[in-house]
Amino acid sequence: MKKDTEVKLLMRERRKGTPQRLAAARAGMGERTARKYEQAGELPSQLKRPHTWATRDNPFEQDWPWVVAQLERDPALQGSTLFALLCEQHPSRYRPTQIRTLQRHIARWRAVSGPEQEVIFEQRHQPGERAQSDFTHMEDLGVTIAGEPFPHMVYHFVLTSSNAEAASICFSESFEALAEGIEKALWQIGGVPEQHRTDHLTAAVRHLRKEEREDWTLRYQALMQHYRMQPTWNNQGVAHENGDVEQSHHRFKQAVDQALRVRWCRDFSNRSAYEHFLQDLVYKRNQTRDARFTAEKEALRPLPAAPLSPCKELRVTVSRFSTIHVNSNIYSVPSRLIGTTVMVRVRAETLEGYVGTSPVFVLPRLIGKHKHRIDYHHVIWSLVRKPGAFAAYQYRDELFPTTTFRLAYDRLLADWPKRANQEYVRILYLAATTSESEVETALCLLLEAAILPTLVAVRDLVHLPGVQSVPQLHTPTLDLSPYDQLIPSRRTNG
């Protein structure tokens, strides 16, 4: 079929009085074709009729009413699911290659007769108007620290107008992680937007009691008031209302994955190296938005005089077991604090203990509930005086710093059961007072040599501070004769 431009050229030539044969040649068509379009008086596009008939029979015509009934019952059913059901019902009626045909028929039915779909409304963002943030899980990237898995999350903060972003590592969707993430992001960006939008953070608050939820809300409102930001939330269960940060999560994780692939290794020597890697990636990504971010930064509000450093303060009394209960978790503390009321500041990753204004401990915070963290350094001073308590101690497994210590205890229990608890507690005391790593090395050597790891055997191998021998220095004998050779001999004049 000829194009409209060719037929238009033919008509112009004919209006000029050009003979039909010559006009057809100039338009690039035969005289018979030119005669057809002249007689029709219409362009090729006007002569084309819509294709309303089927070029081949529908192989699913017999079962199509059943397919439609299933789609009307549940529009989310996929073509592959329905095709598998049809093959089960009629094993010899369909070929595996016909699945695409069914999918095309279903797509056409949805476009013509299917239910209305939810419309996503593209938003127009004003510079300095809004920031969005959320948490994203990073476990699927397979990052390791010194060879060990590093399950973690990233708090992601995005300015919706320029898409400038900030990210910080965290381990839970707690209020402390949210607050610290917001503060790091705002001070890194250097300004405050008018609004902060987040989702309902159901993972963070759904397990809390009513009074805890109210406290969570009040603390969040206080944080927003400190930075003079208006808090807004998504409707519950509508993730796309936080669309900018959701898409940025996806792109950010893709960028991290690509950077790890370029790096050829997903293992980092320590957490600081991994944090530097992430911040360097964020910096490079923000450089591509520099022009838009410069314009948006002018519209941001100034930061307050100082960060809020939000934390939750609790007053707890140290039990006679040398433990404290914080947020349904149990932590051991130094035994000298037994009976003392301690003020604990709960932060995203740590617990800070104070007696008055004096700091007395800093502990890693446990993620989750009904967990415990017992440090043998806190209880070993009492345990060494009462070694019989070790066997039935509720948190005995926490008193094995490494697998080597557990293997040593098992060896003592097998070869010297009557003294196993006492010997192990004394070895643990040695580790607490000298060097845990050196005691572990000594235990490894003894186990490899099939020697019973008693306290005496371990102590003989451990380098004890203060008892090393001082090397004896001998006073050297001075021989000055070589210098005599440098003095020229005197000659007497005759």
Nearest to 162 by CA among 284, 244, 229, 247: 244
Give the model's pLDDT for residue 233: 66
Across the 494 residues of the chain, what is the mean pLDDT of every consecutive 10-residue run? 86 89 88 87 81 75 91 90 92 90 92 84 79 89 93 91 91 88 92 82 54 75 89 56 61 90 92 95 92 90 86 92 93 94 93 93 91 93 91 92 94 92 94 92 93 92 60 69 70 48
List helix spans (H) across 16-151: 20-27, 31-40, 44-47, 64-73, 79-89, 99-113
Residue with tokens 């409304």: 121
Q: What angle do CA 377, 272, 173 make, to 5 degrees?
A: 80
| Domain locations in the chain as residue ranges | 4-47, 64-113, 130-297, 312-373, 376-461
| pLDDT at residue 3, as a whole number | 87
CATH fold for the domain made of 130-297 = Nucleotidyltransferase; domain 5 (3.30.420)
Distance CA 460, CA 434 (A): 13
Tell me the β-bridge partners of 346.
Answer: 312, 351
Cα 392 from Cα 410, distance rounded (Å)? 15
Alpha helices (H) along 135-174: none
Q: Which helix (H) or strand (E) holds 155?
A: strand 153-159
Distance separating alpha carbons of residues 477 and 202, to the nearest angstrom: 83
Q: How far apart are CA 464 and CA 455, in angstroms?
A: 13
CA 125 to chain centre: 27
CB 252 within 8 A of CB 155: no
**pTM, to two decimals:** 0.65
Give the integer Cα–Cα distance in Å for 177 and 350: 11
Burial of 106 (0-12, 13-18, 19+ CB in 10 A): buried
Cα 113 to its chain centre, rounded Å, is 42
Per-residue confidence (pLDDT) for residue 490, from 0 to 100: 53
